[in-house]
Structures are given as structure tokens and as C-alpha cells.
Amino acid sequence: MYEGKRVLVTGGAGFLGSNLVKKLAAEAKHVWVLDDLFTGQRSAVPQRHNVTFVHGSVTDGTLLRKLLSQVEYVFHFAARNITLSVEQPEADFRTNVEGTVQLMLQAVAYKDQIERVVYASTSSIYGNSRLLPTVEGGYDIGLPYAASKMSAELLSIAYGKTFGLPVTCLRFSNVYGPGQVSSNPYCGVVAKFAEAILQGEPMVVYGDGTQTRDFTFVDDAIHAVLLTAFQPGTAGEVFNVGTGVETSINTLAKLVAAGAGKPTYSIRHAPKRPVDTVDRRCISSEKLQLVTRWSPQVSVQKGLEKTWQWLQGQV
């Protein structure tokens, strides 16, 4: 789909962004990766002749304008994460909101050249939704991270409609898989559980572990990104990207342990964290499936097996 295309991926040294870069690099003419390496890793960016890494911030308008002048597709994944948003709410706002506005402002100048801008949003905006699986529409903002991501999402769609920029927003739900390294202190729970097993320490579950999440395998998430960016019917729209399946954290811990061949591995419960505000999460991707025919292909069990195999290869 992207043969001969020139692409910019912000946050391309992060988990989701770097997986996207690897897929794009196999067919795109050139991929520019913009990342400030606050949590991203330079080593995650593939070393290829058609991949250029740029160490910089999405808040740098001059740098963005230079990069945007060269591309047809923009994938905006740069963001501060949920934990940092509580620890550093001002920095969260600058990166997630101001950075997104700066990107959209600069992209407008090249709207006749840019075929699509995809903004990576989050299912965190739904909070404790009463409707499960949750469909696109309402929101329940309870954390700075959710507020900044929702603000950036609304601004992205508004800039698109006002200035004729083709923007699509994707709300991802708990993406995990190969490439999610435990060396990042803010990585997801799957990587944390796997790290604990590799180090011979108990897996730490915050709270009672009955809270649920909709875990989405990274390959499925990236496939959704590539499909929506390419199809004209997705411009100006917001889509959920998830499986529609609830998995409790206690169950996840057992599945990770089983995948590691240690089904009775120990679990230690710790007090809930300030970011642990959602009791249940399960989102509907029916809209995405209807428009693009995308559907999740990897179950949690299979995805955890793939993740564990990858992690063992990194040791």
C-alpha cells in the first residue's frame, strides 16, 4: 500500500511507533522518524537505507515544517504516557496537546501533498464506561493523560475539518507484544510481568487484580493503522482499535506465567496506583471492521506466547 511513499512517524522510537516503522520501511520509499528519546529507544528504529532518525520534539514547529514538506503520510504517535501524566502534568500537556497542535498547524501548509495524518489516541478517554464493549462517542475523563489525549484528538479532527487536512484518529486499547521492553520504566503490564519472571521476582499486581483491560496484540494494532491511513472513507473519523474481550489482570498474570512454563509462579499484590482508576475496559471495534474489514487476529493467549518467545530471544 505504501510503495514509493514518503512517511513521517513521530514517536517512532517508542513501542508502537517503532513497530509501525518496521512495517513501513519494508515498502515505503523513505521513512523519517522523529523522537526525543524521553522514553523511546534509538535501537528500536531499524537501521535501513530508507529510514532517517531525527532526534527532536513535536513541539519544534520549524523542525516539523521541514519534515512535513517531504512526506505524503504522517503517523503521530509521540506522547507522554499515562504514568508520567500524573508525575509531570505540565510536560504531558506540552507534548500531547501543544505538540499535536504544532504538528497539525504545520501540516496544513502541505495539505495538498499530505494524503493522511493518523493520530494515535487512546481508550483511556472512556474511563469507567457503563457501556461495554464501549463504542465511539462518549467519554469519561479522569486523568491528565486522558484529558490531554482527548483534547489533542478533538483538535486534530477540528483542524482537519476546518483546513481540509485528511485526519484519522485511532483509539488504541492496551497494546502489547514484541518490542515492548521492560527497560522502559513506564512500559505496559505484560512486559512488567515477563520481566519479573525473567528476574525471578514475584509479578506485582496493583489492587485486587479483578480490574479488566482489552489487550490488543501489536501486529493487529499496526494492521489497523496501515489500513485506515490508506482508505479514503476513514478521513475525518475516529475508530476504536481493540478486541472486544475483557481480561482481568489476575488472569493476565496467570496466562503470562503459563506461557513462560511456570503456571504456579508467585504473584504479589500492591496498593492501587493513582493511575489505576478504571475497573473495566472493553471496547468495540465494530465501526472499524465495517469500514475497513479489519479484525483482530491474535488472541491474548497466542499474543502472550509470541511475546514470550521474543523476550527470550532478547536475553
Domain containing residue 147: CATH number: 3.40.50.720
Residue 293 resides in a domain: no
Same domain? 53 vs 24 = yes
The pTM is what?
0.96
145 is annotated as an active-site residue? yes
Rounded to a whole number of angstroms, the distance between the first and last alpha carbons of the chain is: 35
Per DSSP, the residues of 103-123 read HHHHHHTTTTT--EEEEEEEG
Helix axes 189-198, 300-314, angle to 10 degrees: 50
List Cβ neighbours of 258 (8 Å cut-off, separation of 6 or more): none
Same domain? 37 vs 58 = yes
- pLDDT tens string, the chain, 315 residues long: the values are 999 999 999 999 999 999 999 999 999 999 999 999 999 999 999 999 999 999 999 999 999 999 999 999 999 999 998 887 888 899 999 999 999 999 999 999 999 999 999 999 999 999 999 999 999 998 999 999 999 999 999 999 999 999 999 999 999 999 999 999 776 766 789 999 999 999 999 999 999 999 999 999 999 999 999 999 999 899 999 999 999 999 999 999 999 999 999 999 999 999 999 888 999 999 999 999 999 999 999 999 999 999 998 988 775
Same domain? 116 vs 208 = no
The boundaries of the domain holding residue 309 are 176-213+245-281+298-314
Can you read off the three cell numbers belonging to residue 68?
Answer: 512535513
DSSP 3-state of 255? helix
Same domain? 32 vs 153 = yes
241 strand-pairing partners: 172
Give CA–CA dist 155/150, Å, rounded: 9
How many distinct structural domains can be found in the chain? 2
DSSP 3-state of 174? coil
Q: What is the CATH number of the domain that holds 303?
A: 3.90.25.10
DSSP 3-state of 251? helix
Same domain? 77 vs 188 = no
Contact assessment for residue 116 and residue 127, using Cβ atoms and an 8 Å cutoff: no
Q: Out of 2, 73, 126, 145, which one is annotated catalytic?
A: 145
